[in-house]
Each structure stands twice: as structure tokens, then as C-alpha cells.
A and B are shown apart, each in its own frame.
Chain A
Amino acid sequence: MSRQKWRVNPLLAVLAGLAALFFIFPLIGLITGAPWGHITDVITSRTAVQALELSIVASLASTVLALIFGFPLAWLLARGQFPGKGLLRGLTTLPMVLPPVVGGIALLLAYGRRGFIGKPLDSAFGITLPFSLAGVIVAESFVAMPFFVITVESGLRSMNRRLEDAARSLGAARRTVFMRVTLPLIWPSLAAGTVLTWARALGEFGATITFAGNLPGVTQTMPLAIYISQSSNMTDEAIALSLILVVVSLVVMVFRRDRSGAQ
């Protein structure tokens, strides 16, 4: 294609500009509205530090769970041939479109203390998931893992599987094919899926508050802490905590862009 002079349709430019501003204005609002005078006090408060720690631990844990369980599921959906595959894909990715609070209620009914899984779990092993850190991780995994599954599945689908044939014909055992050919080739979607999952887990609110509750220091993650501050007229605290989340997310997104740009 020849490089023609790039001319932008004015209507397109106006609409795109409005879209960009739509995203930028709230950020400006957060920055200008922050209690810069006493921000260090707010963000080093016990509530904030506990919530941030909890958020990071729970979101990382659910990302690891997504890697362990989500990857085999993505593999099965991409490569497996079995009846009901479409249905399975629909069911496992449903949480992406479900309101998270509905997810939380569904989780309670299954894994809650009186849930049909939770009840035997409690009586047999004494394990209770709701209103615990484990519950936070379960709620976040439920909502976030589908992003990992769907991204990795599409990565697996779009890779040229005949490269695996080539590797086998050159004498590579299945394990070697996976480690040296498949994994490096799907690496970009694996990385993207991991980041998306982590970001979604970090921001999870509805399912967490429904299933795990809002116990400071136990299940109160950042989004929960922000919501509580906001609704109890502690606006300064809410804004400061929000800024922290924005900064953490922004760092990850920029880092990801750099990595995928290098591909």
C-alpha cells in the first residue's frame, strides 16, 4: 500500500476526541479532587494499607488459580472435540457478562455455608469459604478467570498447529513441543490473559461483597474500602484510595503495552 497523505474525516475526529475526553475527564477529576494536603496520612491509614494488601494478595492468588485451572480449560475448549463444547464455553465464560452481584449470590448458593457444596465441605472438613480471605479469592476467580480462558483459547486457536507437527517430525516429544513451540507461540495471549485477569480481580466488587462480605482486614479489599468510605461521607479517603488503584493499574497497563509492542 502506498503511503498516502493521511487525512482524517472531521466527524470521525470529533467523535474520537469526545470518546478520549470521556475517559480522560474522570481521571482529571480524581487528580484534582485528591486531598493532596494530607494524602500521606490517608493512604498510610490502617484501613488503606490493609485493604491494599488484601487486594494484592487476593488478586494475585486468583490470577495464579486462573493459570493453574484456566489454562487446561482453555486448552480443552480450543483443542478438544466433544459434544457440548459450545455449551461448556458459554457456561464458563458467563461470569464475564453476568452482573457480579448475581455471581456472588450464585456462589453463596453453591459454596456458602448452606450451599449444596459448601454444607458438606463445612461438615466434613470444617472448611467455610464465605466471609474469609479464601472467599474473596473464590469470588475474584469466578469473575476474572473467564477473561484468562477466553484470551488463551483464542491464542491457541490462532496459532498454526502444523508448527507442532513440524516439531514432532523433527523428533520432539510432546512435552518438548509444548515447551519449545506451543508455549512461546501463544506467549502474547498468555501474557494478555494474565494481565486482564489480574486487573479484573483487582477491581472486583459485587461478587466479593456478596460472597465474602466486608470485614476490614479480612475481606475488605480496595474497591470495598473505597465504596464504604464514599458512602460514609469520607470522600477524601475514597478519592485517595481510588488514586492508588488507578496508579497500580496504569503501571501494569503501560508495562504490558511495552512488552507486546516489542513482539
Chain B
Amino acid sequence: MSAVLDADIQLRLSRLSLDVAFSVAPGEVLALLGPNASGKSTTLRALTGLLPLDGGRVVLDGTVLEDPAQRVKVAPEKRPIALMFQDYLLFPHMSAVENVAFGLRCHGVDKKTAREKALQALTRLDLAEAAESRPGSMSGGQQQRVAMARALVTDPKLLLLDEPLAALDVSVKTTVRRLLRDALRQSRAANILVTHDLVDAVALGDRMIVIEAGAVVQTGTPAEVTARPRSGYVADLTGVNLLRGTGHGTVLDLDDGAQLTCASPAAGPTFAVIAPAAVAVSRQRPEGEGVNTWRGRVSAVDLMGDRVRVRVEGTPAITAEVPPAAVDQLKLDEGGDLWVCLSPAAITTYPQ
């Protein structure tokens, strides 16, 4: 696959120093995942040209859009890029159809044709009846679809979606997510989706890139990234325990000083992933040879669906998942100390 977008973005802002590089193929959806203020939205603004680069290079479809070293910078309105904003930013003084036609008019399409195309785009998204409404009188889901139509109608070479589903109610999220996936599948554009919702990233993204504090910490398919997280942020999203250490055969020396016995050998700096359901807890010291046991203090008990998550502060600190009945049996709400028991086979290791 030849990339349609090659981006190397270097930016120094007062609160953030951004340095990320990636490419996106035509029709591909790159999910850009990261915590708040990690530089996701800044990356999108930089791609649109609304925020000038300090270094790096942006090439789209063979055209250099920006290269500070060569003093090249194509103006935002001259870039074949559409940006869909988290809060949609529909023009409040225009009807839905005028909002959608705006971009076409700016690209020199005559009034009548622009209107027709805009109406078609709205109809495809099941919004024909709201075409003459102003954004202020529409529901969040309708506004979201108008924003989607407005972004897609100009047939951009690069489509940027900034948290497109974040502002929606849970009740409409699933429907709109499917609509969005269909729309993205049909587009020949390179697509970048910024999100901090793992479900969106997995459902919509072909590839994932995780950024933290302005730098890329992991790239891969959603399956790869979630199976082998390389940052606490991703591990928290998928709900697994992520530990760091140094492997010496089947013994893993953790960075916090503890030692774990693993089933498979590892060497050098190593990540260890442990599913909370594989972590057992008890009030009495567990018996049994060849298992990892240690003691810690209960710091939080949270109900997650039909399971209960228990955070145990010890060396290492770990999260265990127990059935609700265990809360009473172990008197977890009283806090206190717990013994943790972890089978070597439950630890998945991979190099850092």
C-alpha cells in the first residue's frame, strides 16, 4: 500500500512538545489514541495548517503541504483536507443544507449544484427532513451527521475526525458509530480518527497509534495494541495489569523490586500483562508451591458489570477481579490486608 499521507509533525507549544510521525494509506482509518492533552487534537490542527509546524514535513498525495525547512506552507483553505470537530462547529446562522454546501461553494461549485449535492449528502445520512433546520434546533445526533456530511461532501483526500462520537448520548452512539464506519469504508480518503474511547478505536480503526505527552508510544493493529499494551494508558483502557521489569529466564525482576516467576522465559527489559480475572485474592496466606504470592492492602473496590475489581496496593500493586459474592466472603468493604496469588501461567511477557 502506498501512503497517501506522510506526516512528520514537530511542534513546540507552551504546554506540550509534539513530535509524531505516521503515514496513512487511501481508504485506511488510523485511530489516534491518547489521554487528554497528549497532543491528539494538536496533531489534527497541525495537519489542517491552522497551527504552523516548527519542524518536520507533511506530504499529502504527492504534494508537500508543509515543510518549514524549505519554507513551504500551503494555506489551510488550499489543503484538500476536511476536519470534523468534536463539538461539530456547525455554523449557527445557516441551515443544515447551507452548512453542508458551504465547503462546496468555497471550492467554486455554483450555488444550485452545491445545494443539490449537499441535499444528497444529507439524504444519504437520513437527514433530508432536517435540511432546512438550523443547528440550534437539532438533536446532538443530527448535528453530528450534518458535521459528517459537511466534512465528506467536498471529497477530501484526508479526513480528520476529532472525537466524532464523544459528545453523543450512549443511546445514539452505536447507531452513529455504524453510520460513520460505513461512510469511512466508502471514502477513498486517508482517515485519521482521534479518540480516547477504545471501543471507537477498535470498531473504526484499521490501525492504531497511541500518543502520550506528544510522543508515539505504540503503533499496530487494534488487536496487537490491545493484546500487548506498551503503556499504562492502554493497559488501563483494556483493563489489564501492566508491569515492567527485567527478565532473567523465568524470573522477572520488576522495576519496583519485587520478583515474579513466569511460565515462559524472557530476557532484558520486559513487559508483563496479567488479566485481573487470573489474579486470586484471599485473607489467609495461600498454600501451594510454584505460585507467586504476596501481601497488600485493599485500596479500592469497584463494581464493573457483574464482576468486582479490587485494587491491592503491594509490591507490585495489582488489580484482581472477583465475583460479587467474594465481597461479603472476604469482607472486602472493611479494607485491610489481602494475600495475592498469581499463577506463572497467567503472566504474559514480551520485550519492551
- In the complex, A172 Cα to B107 Cα: how many Å? 8
Contact of B91 among A167, A168, A169, A171 (CB under 8 A): A167
**Are B102 and A165 in contact, with the CB atoms below 8 A?**
no
A11 within 8 A of B: no
Q: Indicate if the CB atoms of B93 and A171 lie closer than 8 Å.
A: no
Q: Does A176 contact B (CB under 8 A)?
A: yes
Q: B48 is contacted by which of A160, A169, A173, A181 (Cβ under 8 Å)?
A: A169
In the complex, chain A residues whose CB is within 8 Å of the CB of B83: 166, 169
A184 B93 Cβ-Cβ under 8 A = yes
B255 contacts the other chain (Cβ, under 8 Å)? no
B76 touches A169 (CB 8 A): yes
List the A residue with the shortest CB-CB distance to B80. A171
With an 8 A cutoff between CB atoms, is B81 at the interface? yes
User: B92 at interface (Cβ–Cβ under 8 A)?
Assistant: yes
Chain A interface main SS type: helix
Residues of A within 8 A of B106 (CB): 167, 170-173, 176
Main secondary structure of the interface of B (DSSP, over half): mixed
Centre residue among A166, A169, A176 by max chain B CB count within 10 A: A169
Which residues of A124-177 have CB atoms within 8 Å of chain B's CB atoms?
Answer: 160, 162-163, 165-173, 176
Q: Say whether B256 faces chain A, with CB atoms less than 8 Å apart.
A: no
Tell me the count of chain A residues lying within 8 A, CB to CB, of chain B: 17
Asked whether A170 lies within 8 Å of B50 as measured between CB atoms, the reply is no
* Minimum distance in angstroms from B74 CB to a CB of chain A: 12
In the complex, which of the residues B78, B85, B107, B154 contacts A166, with contact meaning CB atoms closer than 8 Å? B85
Give the chain A neighbours of B199 by CB distance below 8 A.
none
Contact flag A170-B85 (CB < 8 Å), given A165-B50, A184-B93, A185-B92: no
With an 8 A cutoff between CB atoms, is B201 at the interface?
no
A160 touches B89 (CB 8 A): yes
- Of all chain A residues, the one with the shortest Cβ separation from B83 is A169
Q: B78 — nearest CB in chain A belongs to which residue?
A: A171
Q: Is B31 an interface residue (CB 8 A)?
A: no
B70-108 residues at the A interface, CB under 8 angstroms: 76-78, 81-83, 85, 87, 89, 91-93, 102-103, 106-107
- Residue from B81, B87, B107 within 8 A of A169 (CB atoms): B81
On whether the beta carbons of B102 and A169 are closer than 8 Å, the reply is no
Closest 4 CB pairs of A and B: A171-B106, A170-B103, A166-B89, A169-B83
Q: What are 29 pairs between A and B in contact, CB < 8 Å?
A: A160-B89, A162-B87, A163-B91, A163-B92, A165-B48, A165-B50, A165-B89, A166-B85, A166-B91, A167-B91, A167-B102, A167-B106, A168-B76, A168-B77, A169-B81, A169-B82, A170-B82, A170-B103, A170-B106, A170-B154, A171-B106, A172-B102, A172-B106, A173-B77, A173-B106, A180-B102, A181-B91, A184-B93, A185-B93
